[in-house]
Chain A
Amino acid sequence: MSEGVVTRSLSIGAGAADVWDALVDPSRLEDWFADEVDAQDGELCPGSEVLFRWDDGTERVGVVQEVDAPRRLAFRWADGGGEETEVAFELAEEPAGTRVTVVERGLTARSAAGRALSWGPRLAGLRLAACAVAA
């Protein structure tokens, strides 16, 4: 099976610390990523489980792989259908703010097309959440 990879990137007019906070604080993730985010121990640490729930009934369980503040967050997650993928967020400081790049690996060709569409709006939500704090 060929591995599907989806990459999206967005420049955000906020410092890396503000973007990072919106990315790893479960209550702030509920502003842009999922309707409900339950992290084991209340925060994202390597090895901890995170449950993402959306109001349409979708659920995904993630296991955090890497937390390197404020540069890289990686987790593996799976839906009920058994497809497990790896998601990595990378933050790079820019003169005008922070560039965020998300890469999701391990997708089937079928789900890659849908995911290519959903990461763009999600990053738009992250930008909004990060800038709300910076403002």
Chain B
Amino acid sequence: MGDERLDAVFFALADPTRRSVVRRLISRESVTATQLAGDLPITRQAVSKHLAALVDAGLVAGHREGRETRYRLTPGPLDAASAWLGVIEAQWDGRLERLRRHVEDGPR
């Protein structure tokens, strides 16, 4: 996954409302914008904006069913974001390990 795609994922996940939409979609098969507007303390228009950010990041996909669009989670980009965070975490572990050695052995 390219940097730009990952940037879109982190932009989407930086917002608490969008994170709560993702959490809802983990426990439900799919939702409509109307259902989300009923669940969340935000307007239908705000729900649409948040869904657009999640769709842009590839985290959510919509498909039309009758008169409404149903949205479901497409978790591929979450795996990629998680793998990226894993690399950062490993770098920190390496730094902390060097710090531990430095502290235990004293400066040379």
Q: Is the CB of A123 within 8 A of B7?
A: yes
B98 beta carbon closer than 8 Å to chain A: no
Helix, strand, loop or mixed for chain B's interface? helix
Please give, as numbers and ranges, the residues of chain B lying within 8 Å of A125 by CB-CB distance: 11, 53
Please give, as numbers and ranges, the residues of chain A lying within 8 Å of B3 by CB-CB distance: 120
- Chain B interface size range: 10 to 19
Which positions 1-54 of chain B face chain A at CB distance < 8 Å? 3-4, 6-8, 10-11, 14, 16, 49, 52-53
A88 beta carbon closer than 8 Å to chain B: no
Please give, as numbers and ranges, the residues of chain B lying within 8 Å of A115 by CB-CB distance: none
Of A31, A121, A128, which is within 8 A of B14 by CB?
A121
Helix, strand, loop or mixed for chain A's interface? helix
- Chain A interface size range: 10 to 19
A109 beta carbon closer than 8 Å to chain B: no
Q: Please, which residue of chain B has its CB at the minimum distance from the CB of A125?
A: B11
**Cα-based distance from A121 to B7 in the complex (angstroms):** 4
Q: Is the CB of A128 within 8 A of B56?
A: yes
A residues apposed to B, CB below 8 Å: 10, 31-32, 55, 120-125, 127-128, 132
B residues apposed to A, CB below 8 Å: 3-4, 6-8, 10-11, 14, 16, 49, 52-53, 56-57
